[in-house]
Amino acid sequence: MDELLDILDESGRPTGEVVLKSEAHRLGLLHRCFHCWICGSDPRGSYLLLQRRAATKDTWPNYLDVTAAGHLAAGEKTLDGLREVEEELGLRIAPERLVPLGTRRVEQEIPGGCDKELHDVFLVFDATPPEDLRLQKEEVDAVFRLDLDDVQSLYERGSAPAREYADGRASATRIHLNEFVPKEEGYLSSVAGAARRHLSGMQPVPIF
């Protein structure tokens, strides 16, 4: 959907300019997004959930990405981004459950332009079994359960075992580092560290 976005200056303040997402990407204009990572724990251990972006996405189709994310439309506040979690996964998350991890800046070339974004990043613990999530097929092809203990292996070996959930079915698979939407090195590892702290009862510190 080609929604209207608030454009930011280099300090992250709104300029008052509102443009279509496609135009912001074409011109490389800075705008804001919402990222929510979901962690959990079950008898198999502690994990992060990832999503595979739908094949019809205009940017990074079929790539692995943060559990749920989206652009903040013009006039929206950061926590309005929680609608993305409900739309993409069928989960309603109360704002007070979110653990803020900071804001990261991303600038990367995409077909026909440049994606220049500030990502407000959050972590949340949720005990919903991955197979019970209701995936929005226009946005999410599948979700993957990645054990926190396997994150380091993913970086060191380039792949790691995971469990895939799609179309009501679960299956064992392997995911590869080169399948992820390009981000600065260590993003996933930093989030995994924050998840470990959170699941152990410690307060995660901002990682950006």
**Residues 50/146, Cβ–Cβ less than 8 Å:** yes
**Residues 72/14, Cβ–Cβ less than 8 Å:** no
Q: Using the predicted structure, report yes or no on whether residue 203 has a pLDDT greater than 90.
A: no
pTM value? 0.95
Q: Would you tell me how many other CB atoms lie within 10 Å of the CB of residue 157?
A: 12
Give me the pLDDT at residue 168, please: 84
pLDDT average, residue stretch 130-141? 96
Q: Using the predicted structure, report yes or no on whether residue 124 has a pLDDT greater than 80.
A: yes
Q: CB within 8 A of 16, min separation 6: which ones?
A: none
**Residues 55/104, Cβ–Cβ less than 8 Å:** no
> How far is the C-alpha of 56 from the C-alpha of 59, rounded, in Å?
9
For 7-62, how does the pLDDT look when each residue is reduced to its tens digit (9 = 90+)? 999 999 999 999 999 999 999 999 999 999 999 999 999 999 999 999 999 889 99
**Residues 34/78, Cβ–Cβ less than 8 Å:** yes
Ordered domains of the chain (ranges, CATH)? 4-199 (3.90.79.10)
- Determine phi and psi for 168, rounding to 5 degrees: 75, 5
Give me the pLDDT at residue 185, please: 73
> How far is the C-alpha of 76 from the C-alpha of 32, rounded, in Å?
10
Tokens for 52? 């595979």
Q: Following DSSP, what letter does each residue of 132-184 receive, concatenated?
A: G----TTTEEEEEEEEGGGHHHHHHHSEEEEEEEETTEEEEEEEEGGGBPP--
